[in-house]
Amino acid sequence: MTYEHPNIFDALTDSLVGHTLYPRLFREHLQMLRLAPDEHVLEIGCGGGNMTRLICKTLGPNGTVTSIDVNEYWLSRARRRVVDDRVTFILGDAATVALPPVPYSLALFHYMLHDVPHNERSPLVRRVAGLLGNGARAFVCEPTKESHGMPPGEVDALFAQAGMMRLDQATGSSFVMGTFYRALYGNTYP
């Protein structure tokens, strides 16, 4: 999939895979999230909204999702796919965009951190970690292919540098995403 410049094949793949393979894989991710009904989720890189849709099904009426993406094409797909008053969609760079003053309890980095330039990854993770309240979590799922992904050690180091400790981790693979690393990090502040 060509994230920055999607073509008709990308859109068709997102539509077909979004309704068949993604839900099964993303449900496994949801188990690791430990999502409570009243969470305030900050989703970094929502893409076409497949994960957003599943999060909304898990949240209760007081839960919210703030979904950010840098690409208008994918954000417009997410807006069409997820019509829910609990979701706020924002076009912009998560490292700099103004965000609603919500006490976020979970940040979600879902298959996007590897697309951020190396020198911008640490500032992004630190900014998002700073938006999280005490006891909040961050979930990350990244491909691990050398040609298009990140090694698990690099992911762990970014969150450790931001003051978050790993609570859980797993590796896996899927037909669509290839091999991946997913981890849940937590913070505790005095």
**pLDDT tens for each residue of 37-70:** 999 999 999 988 988 999 999 999 999 999 999 9
Reported as a pLDDT band with limits 50, 70 and 90, residue 117 is: very high
Thinking of the domain 8-186, which architecture would CATH place it in?
3-Layer(aba) Sandwich (3.40)
Query: Residue ranges of the alpha helices (H) in 4-117?
Result: 8-19, 21-33, 50-58, 72-81
Q: Determine the angle formed by the axes of helices 8-19 and 72-81, rounding to 10 degrees.
A: 30
Instruction: State yes or no: pLDDT of 33 exceeds 90.
Output: no
